[in-house]
Amino acid sequence: MKKVYIKTWGCQMNEYDSTLIKSFLEKKESYLLIDNAKKADILILNTCSIREKAQEKLFHQLGRWRKLKKDNPNIIIAVGGCVATQEGIKIFNRANYINIIFGTQTLHRLPNMIKSAIVSKKLIVDVINYKSIEKFDNIQYTVTSISRISSLVAIMEGCNKYCSFCIVPYTRGREVSRPVIDIINEIKQLTKLGTREVILLGQNVNSYFGEYINGKKCDFSKLLYYISEINEIYRIRFITSHPLHFTNNLIHAYSKIPQLIDSLHLPVQSGSDRILKLMRRRYSTVQYKIIIEKLKSIRPKMHISSDFIIGFPGETEIDFKKTMALVKDVYFDMSFSFLYSPRPGTPASILKQNTSIEERKKRLFMLQNKIIIQSKKLSLNMLNTTQSVLVDGIAKNDIMKLSGKTMNNRTVYFEGRHSCIGKIVKINITNVSRHTLIGRVI
Ligand code: SAH
Ligand code: F3S
């Protein structure tokens, strides 16, 4: 039995890919997944390249593993994910002790690569797959690979949008959607392991384009209706959608599908139309605000979160003020906000930076601070209210308590019986901090 250790960083798609790797390896009886790199025979690194320093981070980690390999030359080291897809053999040129380089679309072949590497002791590079949907075939989860109340399910992968700053279209390839039937089967399989909430995953979930059913292509909103028919699924979330394809049908789904939660993560990136153009985002701030207004007319309690890029080349003080105004208008609850970082091969990477790093950092701090204040206010509004909470397990910091999620995706801690796990319970909110709440079962 070979012991396998997997290290992952980056986006949720990457995390999901690692879950797939685990399920592929667990299907083979000869592998055991462990949490300690020092005891492993096989070390797998699943990398991300969305922001800067991806390469440095990768070689740092490999450096640490090199020491383990010195003590035990039989260790197999495999490097995958977005950096591996982009860099390929170049990684070996800098770290000639690695054995396998695999891509975001070839991870289903990893068990075979490992087998060959053990036998041949030669470098194996397999990063390209033209049938990119293949990795989703034959997914079979086990209790150890996944046994969660809330599970990620990929519905599509890749991106055709080519925002000027983004590396994803180059590392994840063009958009491909999984067949509806596969997605439904996977969700049903997960419900048998206890899943009650699905997080539908993709770079642009609302570009989803499934098969024809009754003569009509199944789009994202239709897929949501199908999923809502699975009785054991109480809640449906998705990341990430794009404002460009946030259709009226999708908005309307919020009035028909109670399982859709009251929280939406919709990346806007900037509040300045001039910058949005330079970013090639293909919507305006007004279009964005209209989507939010329509949604809030259906779900007044909806919380909105977003991604922001601060300090995009050419961003002026006025552009930044527009972003801050949008933050207030929409009243964002949470953000993933970062300084712009030039990514190799993207159109924006040749644009000149006009603002000092100090100024850019100051802007980022101001934005994050404003959103934190808003977030606290939104939490305060929940004090003394009754919330429907999906109980997802034992609280991280207090084993005497349970944790769960409100409809608007706030974590709540409360005392309760373990038999509540996986159920929806009514909780009175008695105490709040920014993103977590304390409550009492009613
Ligand atoms: N729709 C995709 C977006 C992927 S990238 C998804 O979430 O699946 C995630 C976020 O990373 C983007 O929304 C953007 O805010 C940020 N990002 C992407 N490229 C970046 C860059 N070059 N510099 C800084 N942030 C970046
Ligand atoms: Fe990246 Fe834009 Fe696609 S941010 S993932 S190119 S929608």
Local confidence band at 12 (pLDDT 50, 70, 90 cut-offs):
confident
Q: What CA–CA distance (Å, rounded) separates 389 from 231?
A: 17
Report the number of distinct structural domains present in the chain. Answer: 3
Q: Which of 126, 158, 185 is the last residue of a domain?
A: 126
The ligand that comes nearest to the alpha carbon of residue 340 is 1
Q: Which of 380, 400, 415 is the last residue of a domain?
A: 380
Is residue 146 over pLDDT 80? no
Residue among 302, 310, 370 at smallest CA distance from 340: 310
Is residue 337 over pLDDT 90? yes
Distance from Cα 97 to the centre of ligand 2, integer Å: 34
Q: Is 242 in the pocket of ligand 2 (CB under 6 A)?
A: yes
Listed range (9-23, 296-310, 342-356, 371-385) with the worst mean pLDDT: 9-23
The ligand that comes nearest to the alpha carbon of residue 336 is 1
Domain shared by 31 and 177, yes or no: no
Distance from Cα 288 to the centre of ligand 1, integer Å: 17
Host domain of residue 340: 134-380
- Using H for helix, E for strand and C for coil, what is the string for 341-378? CCCCCCHHHHCCCCCCHHHHHHHHHHHHHHHHHHHHHH
Nearest CA to ligand 1 atom 1: 203
Domain shared by 227 and 344, yes or no: yes
Q: Is 162 in the pocket of ligand 2 (CB under 6 A)?
A: yes
pLDDT at site 147: 62
Q: Convert the pLDDT of each residue in 390-406 to its tens digit.
A: 999 999 888 899 999 99
| Exposure letters 48-84 (e unless 16+ CB within 10 A, then b) | bbbeeebbebbeebbeebbebbeeeeebbbbbbbbbb
pTM equals 0.93
3-class SS shares of the chain: helix, strand, coil, % to 5? 40, 25, 35
Domain shared by 36 and 185, yes or no: no
Q: What CA–CA distance (Å, rounded) separates 26 from 145?
A: 8
* 126, 101 Cβ separation under 8 angstroms: yes
Q: 414 phi and psi, to 5 degrees? A: -160, 160
Residue numbering of the annotated binding site for [4Fe-4S] cluster: 11, 48, 82, 159, 163, 166
Helices then strands, each counted (H, E), the chain: 13, 21
Domain shared by 355 and 425, yes or no: no
Mutation pick for ligand 2 pocket among 161, 170, 207, 346 (CB with most ligand atoms within 8 Å): 161
Q: What CA–CA distance (Å, rounded) separates 221 from 257?
A: 10
Domain shared by 352 and 391, yes or no: no
The residues lining ligand 1, judged by C-beta closer than 6 Å to any ligand atom, are 50-51, 165-166, 168, 203-204, 240, 267, 269, 307, 309, 338, 340-341, 343
DSSP 122-141: S-EEE---SSGGGGGTT---
pLDDT at site 138: 66
Residue among 113, 199, 120 at smallest CA distance from 154: 199
Q: Is 348 in the pocket of ligand 2 (CB under 6 A)?
A: no
Query: What is residue 66's three-state secondary structure?
Result: helix
Q: Which of 126, 158, 187 is the last residue of a domain?
A: 126
pLDDT at site 131: 66
Q: Quick one: average pLDDT of 113-142? A: 83
* 33, 26 Cβ separation under 8 angstroms: yes
**Relative orientation angle of helices 110-120 and 12-27, to the nearest 10 degrees:** 60
The ligand that comes nearest to the alpha carbon of residue 203 is 1
R_g of the chain computed on alpha carbons: 23
CATH number at residue 308: 3.80.30.20
Domain shared by 88 and 157, yes or no: no
pLDDT at site 65: 97
Distance from Cα 166 to the centre of ligand 1, integer Å: 6
pLDDT at site 130: 64
Distance from Cα 240 to the centre of ligand 2, integer Å: 10
* 316, 359 Cβ separation under 8 angstroms: no
Local confidence band at 168 (pLDDT 50, 70, 90 cut-offs):
very high
Distance from Cα 204 to the centre of ligand 2, integer Å: 8
Domain shared by 257 and 324, yes or no: yes
Distance from Cα 236 to the centre of ligand 1, integer Å: 23
Domain shared by 394 and 361, yes or no: no
Query: What is the average pLDDT value for the chain, to the nearest integer?
Result: 93
Q: What CA–CA distance (Å, rounded) separates 365 from 3?
A: 43
Is residue 140 over pLDDT 80? no
Strand partners, 199: 152, 237
Strands 402-405 and 411-414: what pairing? antiparallel
pLDDT at site 176: 93
Domain shared by 175 and 310, yes or no: yes
Q: 369 phi and psi, to 5 degrees? A: -65, -45
Q: What CA–CA distance (Å, rounded) separates 427 from 442?
A: 6
Local confidence band at 145 (pLDDT 50, 70, 90 cut-offs):
low
Distance from Cα 336 to the centre of ligand 1, integer Å: 9
pLDDT at site 144: 58
pLDDT at site 52: 75
Nearest CA to ligand 1 atom 24: 340
